[in-house]
Amino acid sequence: MLQVYLEEIVLYKLPFVTAAIFFVGLFYRIYKYLSVKLRVFPVFPKASKSGLEKLFEYFSDVFLFKTIFSSDKFLWVLSWLFHVSLFVILLGHLRMFLGIKVDENFTSFLGTLLGVIFFLTLLSLLVRRVAKLRVISTAEDYFALILLLSVAISGMYLRLNDVSLNGYLLSLISGEKIVVGSSALVVHALLAQILVAYLPFGKLFHSIGVFHSNYLVRWKNARVRSSVREVR
């Protein structure tokens, strides 16, 4: 009875709270970025690239990690493996939630492989932070990595024990609840929702910050400098 109650709370009540926190936090963070007042810095040269070239530069940095590649090849490999495995795992969860049927042997093999890769990259990043970056690391850095590791470990446990939520999203919308009877599923779902709610407020959600700090501010700053010169 307690198990059914916990599943109903974590799987069918809490997701709406988590989604609300995520989107409110996301919009607030975007608002904070966009409300930053720009100042003119002479050290930035006038932009000579077109808007398309600037967007290409941004997306190549975000998806190819050019900055990381030029400074730390090992970290670049870890980052690539982490993001690619996470992306495919999320696609797999979406397929499962929508109840899309595919070859179960293939999805089981691929899900297990990517889960192992995801776990090992996180473990490597944690070891690297403890060994090399301890001086500049904060409690939030360790919290984020440990939370991700907890999600990965609980997810691997569910994978190895063949626990799934096929058609979960449709059941969430329709109100026809799926009773699984797994405490591990409740733990995994709770950890995943804590991660989702934390994302807009932590360092993991860095792509928006990268766009704002490394590109948007510089592009706007270049236009401001150009306008100032024309007025003069």
Give the C-alpha separation, 74 to 206, whole Å.
Answer: 20
Helix 104-132 and helix 139-160, axial crossing angle in degrees, nearest 10: 160
Dihedral of alpha carbons 100, 101, 103, 109, sign = positive
pTM, entire model: 0.81
- Residue pair 153/119 in contact (Cβ under 8 Å)? The answer is yes
The tens-digit pLDDT sequence of the chain (232 residues) is 778 888 889 999 999 999 999 999 999 888 887 776 655 555 544 455 566 676 677 677 767 777 788 888 899 999 999 999 999 999 999 998 888 888 888 888 999 999 999 999 999 999 999 999 999 999 999 999 999 999 999 999 999 888 888 888 888 887 788 888 889 999 999 999 999 999 999 887 765 666 555 555 555 555 544 444 444 4
CA dist 188 to 23, 184, 211, Å? 21, 6, 31
Give the C-alpha separation, 58 to 13, whole Å.
Answer: 38
User: Which ranges constitute the DSSP H helices of the chain?
Assistant: 2-8, 14-34, 51-64, 66-71, 73-98, 104-132, 139-160, 168-174, 183-198, 207-210, 217-231
